[in-house]
Amino acid sequence: MISWKTPAEVEIIAEGGRRLALIMKELGKATKPGIATKELDRLAESLVFKFGGQCSFKGYGRGNEKPFPSCLCVSLNEEVVHGVPSQRKIKAGDLLSLDLGIFYQGFHTDMAKTWPVGEVSDLAKNLISATEKVLWLAIEAIKPGRRFGDLGFIIQHYAESQGFNVVRELCGHGIGRELHEEPEVLNYGQKGTGPELVEGMVFCLEPMLTIGNWRVKKGNNFSYKTIDKSLSAHFEHTVAVTKNGARVLTVL
Protein backbone atom coordinates (compact mmCIF):
# COMPACT_ATOMS: atom_id res chain seq x y z
CA MET A 1 0.00 0.00 0.00
CA ILE A 2 1.39 3.40 -1.02
CA SER A 3 1.71 5.90 1.82
CA TRP A 4 1.50 9.68 1.63
CA LYS A 5 3.52 12.06 3.75
CA THR A 6 2.24 15.20 5.44
CA PRO A 7 3.97 18.53 4.74
CA ALA A 8 5.58 18.34 8.19
CA GLU A 9 6.91 14.84 7.47
CA VAL A 10 8.29 15.96 4.11
CA GLU A 11 10.21 18.73 5.91
CA ILE A 12 11.80 16.18 8.25
CA ILE A 13 12.76 13.99 5.30
CA ALA A 14 14.18 17.02 3.49
CA GLU A 15 16.40 17.86 6.46
CA GLY A 16 17.60 14.27 6.60
CA GLY A 17 18.21 14.43 2.86
CA ARG A 18 20.21 17.63 3.17
CA ARG A 19 22.44 15.95 5.74
CA LEU A 20 22.79 12.92 3.50
CA ALA A 21 23.84 15.15 0.58
CA LEU A 22 26.51 16.75 2.78
CA ILE A 23 27.83 13.32 3.72
CA MET A 24 27.93 12.21 0.09
CA LYS A 25 29.84 15.37 -0.81
CA GLU A 26 32.47 14.54 1.83
CA LEU A 27 32.73 10.97 0.56
CA GLY A 28 33.33 12.30 -2.94
CA LYS A 29 36.22 14.42 -1.67
CA ALA A 30 37.76 11.38 0.01
CA THR A 31 37.61 9.22 -3.10
CA LYS A 32 41.04 8.70 -4.68
CA PRO A 33 43.16 5.88 -6.11
CA GLY A 34 44.60 3.65 -3.41
CA ILE A 35 41.87 4.08 -0.81
CA ALA A 36 40.23 0.86 0.36
CA THR A 37 36.46 0.69 0.00
CA LYS A 38 36.28 -0.24 3.71
CA GLU A 39 37.88 3.12 4.54
CA LEU A 40 35.07 4.90 2.72
CA ASP A 41 32.57 2.85 4.70
CA ARG A 42 34.18 3.82 8.00
CA LEU A 43 34.15 7.47 6.96
CA ALA A 44 30.49 7.24 5.91
CA GLU A 45 29.44 5.71 9.22
CA SER A 46 31.31 8.32 11.25
CA LEU A 47 29.74 11.13 9.23
CA VAL A 48 26.24 9.69 9.59
CA PHE A 49 26.60 9.74 13.38
CA LYS A 50 28.22 13.19 13.28
CA PHE A 51 25.18 14.53 11.43
CA GLY A 52 22.77 13.00 13.93
CA GLY A 53 21.53 10.04 11.91
CA GLN A 54 21.77 6.28 11.77
CA CYS A 55 22.86 4.02 8.92
CA SER A 56 19.81 2.78 7.01
CA PHE A 57 21.56 -0.11 5.28
CA LYS A 58 23.64 -1.63 8.09
CA GLY A 59 21.79 -4.64 9.45
CA TYR A 60 19.00 -4.28 6.89
CA GLY A 61 17.45 -7.34 5.29
CA ARG A 62 14.03 -8.35 4.00
CA GLY A 63 12.47 -11.75 4.45
CA ASN A 64 15.15 -14.42 4.40
CA GLU A 65 17.87 -12.03 3.26
CA LYS A 66 21.05 -11.82 5.30
CA PRO A 67 21.42 -8.44 7.01
CA PHE A 68 23.64 -6.05 5.06
CA PRO A 69 26.95 -5.72 6.95
CA SER A 70 27.93 -2.13 6.12
CA CYS A 71 26.72 1.45 6.25
CA LEU A 72 27.75 2.24 2.67
CA CYS A 73 27.31 0.35 -0.60
CA VAL A 74 30.45 0.62 -2.75
CA SER A 75 30.19 -0.77 -6.29
CA LEU A 76 32.96 -0.75 -8.90
CA ASN A 77 32.80 -1.01 -12.68
CA GLU A 78 30.55 -3.99 -13.57
CA GLU A 79 29.03 -4.01 -10.06
CA VAL A 80 25.67 -2.28 -10.36
CA VAL A 81 24.58 -2.00 -6.72
CA HIS A 82 25.03 -3.39 -3.18
CA GLY A 83 28.79 -3.84 -3.24
CA VAL A 84 30.08 -4.66 0.24
CA PRO A 85 33.08 -2.56 1.36
CA SER A 86 36.31 -4.52 1.88
CA GLN A 87 40.07 -4.10 1.75
CA ARG A 88 39.81 -3.86 -2.04
CA LYS A 89 41.50 -0.65 -3.20
CA ILE A 90 40.10 1.75 -5.74
CA LYS A 91 42.27 2.16 -8.85
CA ALA A 92 42.65 4.92 -11.40
CA GLY A 93 40.30 4.17 -14.28
CA ASP A 94 37.57 2.67 -12.08
CA LEU A 95 33.94 3.73 -12.08
CA LEU A 96 32.90 4.09 -8.46
CA SER A 97 29.26 4.05 -7.35
CA LEU A 98 28.39 5.01 -3.77
CA ASP A 99 24.91 4.37 -2.39
CA LEU A 100 24.00 5.58 1.10
CA GLY A 101 20.84 5.79 3.18
CA ILE A 102 20.37 7.49 6.54
CA PHE A 103 17.62 7.32 9.14
CA TYR A 104 16.91 10.74 10.66
CA GLN A 105 14.12 11.59 13.12
CA GLY A 106 12.02 8.61 12.13
CA PHE A 107 12.45 8.73 8.35
CA HIS A 108 14.84 7.32 5.77
CA THR A 109 16.45 9.05 2.80
CA ASP A 110 18.55 7.38 0.11
CA MET A 111 20.87 8.60 -2.64
CA ALA A 112 23.56 7.32 -4.98
CA LYS A 113 26.18 8.73 -7.30
CA THR A 114 28.80 7.40 -9.71
CA TRP A 115 32.25 8.96 -10.09
CA PRO A 116 35.13 8.35 -12.51
CA VAL A 117 38.37 7.70 -10.61
CA GLY A 118 41.10 9.51 -12.48
CA GLU A 119 41.05 9.22 -16.26
CA VAL A 120 38.43 6.95 -17.83
CA SER A 121 37.37 6.28 -21.40
CA ASP A 122 35.04 8.60 -23.31
CA LEU A 123 32.47 5.82 -23.33
CA ALA A 124 32.60 5.57 -19.54
CA LYS A 125 32.28 9.36 -19.24
CA ASN A 126 29.25 9.29 -21.53
CA LEU A 127 27.69 6.49 -19.48
CA ILE A 128 28.01 8.50 -16.27
CA SER A 129 26.71 11.66 -17.92
CA ALA A 130 23.71 9.92 -19.48
CA THR A 131 22.76 8.19 -16.21
CA GLU A 132 22.80 11.45 -14.26
CA LYS A 133 20.97 13.34 -16.99
CA VAL A 134 18.20 10.76 -17.31
CA LEU A 135 17.59 10.94 -13.56
CA TRP A 136 16.98 14.67 -13.87
CA LEU A 137 14.83 14.25 -16.99
CA ALA A 138 12.57 11.92 -15.00
CA ILE A 139 12.53 14.29 -12.02
CA GLU A 140 11.51 17.19 -14.25
CA ALA A 141 8.57 15.13 -15.54
CA ILE A 142 7.10 14.51 -12.09
CA LYS A 143 3.76 16.15 -11.39
CA PRO A 144 0.42 15.05 -9.94
CA GLY A 145 -1.67 13.10 -12.42
CA ARG A 146 1.20 11.54 -14.29
CA ARG A 147 1.94 7.85 -13.85
CA PHE A 148 5.03 5.92 -12.86
CA GLY A 149 5.07 4.29 -16.30
CA ASP A 150 5.64 7.77 -17.77
CA LEU A 151 8.84 8.10 -15.74
CA GLY A 152 10.04 4.63 -16.71
CA PHE A 153 9.37 5.41 -20.37
CA ILE A 154 11.43 8.61 -20.18
CA ILE A 155 14.37 6.81 -18.56
CA GLN A 156 14.33 3.88 -20.96
CA HIS A 157 13.81 5.98 -24.10
CA TYR A 158 16.63 8.42 -23.32
CA ALA A 159 19.06 5.71 -22.21
CA GLU A 160 18.53 3.67 -25.35
CA SER A 161 18.76 6.78 -27.55
CA GLN A 162 22.26 7.29 -26.15
CA GLY A 163 23.29 3.71 -26.90
CA PHE A 164 22.95 2.36 -23.35
CA ASN A 165 20.67 -0.15 -21.67
CA VAL A 166 18.55 0.09 -18.53
CA VAL A 167 18.81 -2.55 -15.80
CA ARG A 168 15.31 -4.00 -15.40
CA GLU A 169 15.77 -6.45 -12.54
CA LEU A 170 16.42 -3.66 -10.01
CA CYS A 171 14.36 -0.55 -9.39
CA GLY A 172 13.60 2.47 -7.23
CA HIS A 173 11.11 2.43 -4.37
CA GLY A 174 8.89 4.34 -2.04
CA ILE A 175 10.58 5.51 1.14
CA GLY A 176 9.66 7.00 4.51
CA ARG A 177 9.37 5.34 7.89
CA GLU A 178 10.56 2.19 6.11
CA LEU A 179 13.57 2.08 3.82
CA HIS A 180 11.65 0.25 1.11
CA GLU A 181 7.97 1.07 0.69
CA GLU A 182 5.52 0.76 -2.16
CA PRO A 183 5.53 1.40 -5.03
CA GLU A 184 8.35 -0.16 -6.99
CA VAL A 185 9.68 2.54 -9.32
CA LEU A 186 10.74 0.87 -12.56
CA ASN A 187 13.32 2.38 -14.90
CA TYR A 188 11.43 1.22 -17.98
CA GLY A 189 7.78 1.20 -18.95
CA GLN A 190 4.94 2.47 -21.07
CA LYS A 191 3.27 5.86 -20.92
CA GLY A 192 0.01 5.97 -19.01
CA THR A 193 0.67 2.84 -16.96
CA GLY A 194 1.37 2.24 -13.28
CA PRO A 195 0.14 4.05 -10.18
CA GLU A 196 -0.76 7.72 -10.45
CA LEU A 197 1.58 10.33 -8.97
CA VAL A 198 -0.16 12.09 -6.09
CA GLU A 199 0.93 15.05 -3.98
CA GLY A 200 2.60 13.80 -0.79
CA MET A 201 4.23 10.73 -2.31
CA VAL A 202 7.93 10.31 -1.49
CA PHE A 203 10.05 7.85 -3.44
CA CYS A 204 13.52 7.12 -4.78
CA LEU A 205 14.28 7.39 -8.47
CA GLU A 206 17.44 5.47 -9.31
CA PRO A 207 18.29 4.74 -12.95
CA MET A 208 21.00 2.12 -13.48
CA LEU A 209 22.49 2.07 -16.97
CA THR A 210 24.98 -0.27 -18.64
CA ILE A 211 27.09 -0.11 -21.79
CA GLY A 212 26.23 -3.73 -22.57
CA ASN A 213 23.56 -6.27 -21.65
CA TRP A 214 20.99 -4.99 -19.14
CA ARG A 215 20.75 -8.32 -17.32
CA VAL A 216 22.43 -8.70 -13.95
CA LYS A 217 23.41 -11.57 -11.68
CA LYS A 218 23.87 -11.70 -7.94
CA GLY A 219 27.35 -12.49 -6.67
CA ASN A 220 28.35 -14.64 -3.71
CA ASN A 221 27.52 -11.91 -1.21
CA PHE A 222 25.18 -8.99 -1.82
CA SER A 223 26.34 -7.29 -5.00
CA TYR A 224 24.63 -7.38 -8.38
CA LYS A 225 26.87 -7.36 -11.46
CA THR A 226 26.19 -7.04 -15.15
CA ILE A 227 25.96 -10.50 -16.66
CA ASP A 228 28.48 -9.63 -19.40
CA LYS A 229 30.81 -7.68 -17.06
CA SER A 230 30.09 -4.42 -18.87
CA LEU A 231 30.42 -1.09 -17.07
CA SER A 232 27.45 0.32 -15.20
CA ALA A 233 26.49 3.62 -13.55
CA HIS A 234 23.90 4.47 -10.89
CA PHE A 235 22.38 7.75 -9.70
CA GLU A 236 19.61 8.20 -7.14
CA HIS A 237 17.66 10.95 -5.41
CA THR A 238 14.81 10.91 -2.92
CA VAL A 239 11.97 13.09 -4.24
CA ALA A 240 8.58 14.29 -3.07
CA VAL A 241 5.59 15.00 -5.29
CA THR A 242 4.20 18.52 -4.77
CA LYS A 243 1.36 20.34 -6.51
CA ASN A 244 4.00 22.16 -8.59
CA GLY A 245 6.08 19.09 -9.51
CA ALA A 246 9.02 17.35 -7.89
CA ARG A 247 10.92 18.49 -4.83
CA VAL A 248 14.33 16.82 -4.62
CA LEU A 249 15.01 16.06 -0.97
CA THR A 250 18.62 14.83 -1.19
CA VAL A 251 20.32 18.04 -2.29
CA LEU A 252 22.12 20.83 -0.46
**Domain-located, residue 2:** no
Give binding residues for substrate as ranges.
82, 180
Q: Per the domain annotation, does 17 fall within a domain?
A: yes
Phi then psi for residue 29, to 5 deg, are -65, -35
What pLDDT shows up at residue 71? 98
pLDDT, position 64: 78
Domain at 211, CATH number: 3.90.230.10
Domain presence at residue 53: yes
Question: Is residue 25 domain-resident?
Answer: yes
- Binding-site positions read 82, 99, 110, 173, 180, 206, 236
User: How many alpha carbons fall within 13 Å on the CB side of residue 214?
Assistant: 17
Tell me what pLDDT residue 131 has: 98
Extract the annotated binding site for a divalent metal cation: 99, 110, 173, 206, 236
- The number of domains in the chain is 1
List of the chain residues with pLDDT < 50: none
What is the spatial distance between Cα 202 and Cα 187, in angstroms, rounded to a whole number?
16
* pLDDT at site 66: 87
Q: Is 150 inside a domain boundary?
A: yes
Distance CA 229, CA 211 (A): 10
Of 231, 237, 240, the C-alpha closest to 250 is 237
Please return the burial class of 71, using the count of CB atoms within 10 Å of its CB with bins 0-12, 13-18 and 19+: buried
pLDDT value, residue 62: 78
1 within domain boundaries: no
pLDDT of res. 65:
80
H or E segment at 209?
strand 208-210
Residue 63 belongs to a domain: yes
Bridge partners of 210, per DSSP, are 165, 232
Residue-level pLDDT at 235? 98
pLDDT at 206: 98
**CB-based contacts of 161, cutoff 8 Å, min separation 6:** none
Contact 90, 76 (CB under 8 A): yes
pLDDT, one tens digit per residue, over 33-51 is 999 999 999 999 999 999 9
7: which residues sit within 8 A by CB, 6+ positions away?
Answer: none
- For residues 222-235, one letter each, b for 16 or more C-beta atoms within 10 angstroms of the residue's C-beta and e for the rest, the string is bbbbbeeebbbbbb
Question: Reduced to 3 states, what is the DSSP secondary structure of residue 234?
Answer: strand
Q: Which domain holds residue 150?
A: 7-248
